[in-house]
Amino acid sequence: MTAYIDYAIGLLKDKGFRITKPRRLVVELLDASREALSAYEIKDLLEANGEKVDTVSVYRILQCLEENRLVHRVLTSGKVKKCMLEHEEQCSLAQEEHCHHLLICKACDAIEEVHCPGTRVLVDALEAQSRFKIQSHNMEFIGLCAQCV
Amino acid sequence: MTAYIDYAIGLLKDKGFRITKPRRLVVELLDASREALSAYEIKDLLEANGEKVDTVSVYRILQCLEENRLVHRVLTSGKVKKCMLEHEEQCSLAQEEHCHHLLICKACDAIEEVHCPGTRVLVDALEAQSRFKIQSHNMEFIGLCAQCV
DNA sequence: TTCACTGCAAACCTTTTGCAATTCT
DNA sequence: AGAATTGCAAAAGGTTTGCAGTGAA
């Protein structure tokens, strides 16, 4: 078991959620995937592995994972990527909201979570310029990953 | 006619698009709205004004406006907000892609387009840290606007 | 044993497609 | 007049809901 699986299953168990077979399968699949996945893709990938999980259940499992901040929702595609809260905690902003800092590779669809060192500066500049009080943010950076450059 | 309407209609005309009644109605509605609107909301608002435009036509009109960078697509909601290209041009990055810098008010849903002075610094830091080559980005900042603070 | 969770059927909402009728230029 | 655009009908996709049955604790 990798760190993510332990982390996700442990967190769900601690919060009183039941560790069912479909939940475990979805968590394992998300852990193994470099890319973000849609509910249908998850259902199909599991089926290809001989594991049948209803699409509706996948939707509900993803909702549960999202509410527990165990996945990111990629805004540009609506798909879901595993997420380690450790990375989130380093974010100096947006304690309440689930904030996204994702690097998305155009070529291979790989997604990397990142901690944004310059975010504070940017947000301060924006607040000064706009008179908005910023509480959270979503950022997606599209480009080429190290392997695809 | 406001600057946006002139700008949008002029740009479409220049590119050889026809200035039809439905197109003009949608552009006028977007100009008047502080908030982002969905296709159905646009259809319903027009209908409330006694103007009937088919939902399918609204979809096609929005697609046309988006392709000509006359609207932003809000990623967190899928809705559409008028957009003045002047602001885009100031963005030092993402010449090819349509890049988004939106401030979204949680309380009143108002949306403000912004030029991000700190973007270059942030992107440079991310590239150094990740070995990603960043080509474009989407940023949405959620908070409270000056009126709602 | 009990209650959370799953699976199935069906509804719902959004978006897309094809084609004939309309209307800008 | 001619081509682009609209409106209508229908299909396609994605997501949600209700409920009975299953299975984790």
pLDDT tier at A101, thresholds 50, 70, 90: confident
Same structural domain, A78 and A135: no
B37 is in which domain, residue-wise? 1-83
Asked if B136 lies within 8 A of A143 by C-beta distance, the reply is: yes
pLDDT values of chain B reduced to their tens digit, one per residue, 149 residues: 789 999 999 999 999 999 999 999 999 999 999 999 999 999 999 999 999 999 999 999 999 999 999 999 999 999 999 998 664 554 555 444 556 689 999 999 999 988 766 777 888 888 988 899 999 888 999 999 999 99
Same structural domain, A77 and A109: no
Distance, CA of B57 to chain centre: 18
3-state DSSP assignment of residue B100: strand
- The 10 Å Cβ neighbour count of residue A149 is 11
pLDDT at A114: 84
Same structural domain, B15 and B55: yes
Which amino acid would we find at residue A1? Answer: M
Structure tokens that stand for B14 in this block: 């220049």
How many domains does the structure of chain B reveal?
A: 2
CATH at residue A31: 1.10.10.10
Distance, CA of A114 to chain centre: 11
Same structural domain, B24 and B1: yes
Same structural domain, A15 and A69: yes
Phi first, then psi, for residue B82 (nearest 5°) are -60, 155
pLDDT at B25: 98
Same structural domain, A67 and A105: no
Structure tokens that stand for B104 in this block: 């979204």
Phi first, then psi, for residue B81 (nearest 5°) are -130, 140
State which residue of chain B sits closest to A115, comparing Cα positions: B126
Same structural domain, A59 and A6: yes
Same structural domain, B71 and B3: yes
Same structural domain, A103 and A66: no
Q: Which of A37, A58, A83 is the last residue of a domain?
A: A83
Same structural domain, A68 and A126: no
Residue A87 has pLDDT above 50, yes or no: no
State which residue of chain B sits closest to A129, comparing Cα positions: B114
pLDDT tier at A85, thresholds 50, 70, 90: low
By DSSP bridging, strand B111-113 and strand B100-105 are antiparallel
CB closer than 7 A to strand C: which residues?
Answer: A 17-18, 20, 22-23, 52-54, 56-57, 60-61; B 13, 18-21, 38-40, 55-56, 59-60, 63, 78
CATH at residue B133: 3.30.1490.190
Burial tier of A81 (Cβ tally within 10 Å: 0-12, 13-18, 19+): buried
Same structural domain, B16 and B72: yes
Q: Which of B83, B107, B122 is the last residue of a domain?
A: B83
